[in-house]
Amino acid sequence: MPHPLRVILLAALLLTACLAPAIAAELDGEYEVYGHEMADGRYTGKAAVAKSGDTYTVVWVFGQDVHRGTGILNGDTFSVIFFVRQSPVPGLAVYKIETDGTLTGQFTVLGGKKVGAEMWKRVDH
């Protein structure tokens, strides 16, 4: 008879393997973005995510500012390297995909000493 802990671990691995493709398929789309900047400023904007091979193209729009990035998905974690328009310094954002499809995460820039926070809510069409 298998050890109960092994049965639980196997069930968790199978569940994760089954959910990963569903999360990937549902990640594409448009989102409302709510954030708190590293310099203590609040902001809102939009983000669009599109699958591109094994990665994702991400475009944020905040008024006239456009940020572009490339993301990878690992389970329920979505990580994105990005550039802010007219800035030579890259940034990194890491989000957790919640069960309702909301993304919550943090970001910083190369050499940064602080982190900001963002929450994305899917825009339903």
- Convert the pLDDT of each residue in 65-108 to its tens digit: 899 999 999 999 999 999 987 778 999 999 999 999 999 999 99
- Convert the pLDDT of each residue in 26-55 to its tens digit: 799 999 999 998 777 899 999 999 999 999
pTM of the model: 0.77
| Structural domain spans, the chain | 4-122
Q: Which of 57, 56, 106, 98 is nearest to 76 (CA)?
A: 98
For the domain made up of 4-122, the CATH class stated in words is mainly beta
The tokens for 109 are 């820039």
Q: Give the three-class secondary structure for 78.
A: strand
What does the pLDDT read at residue 16?
A: 40
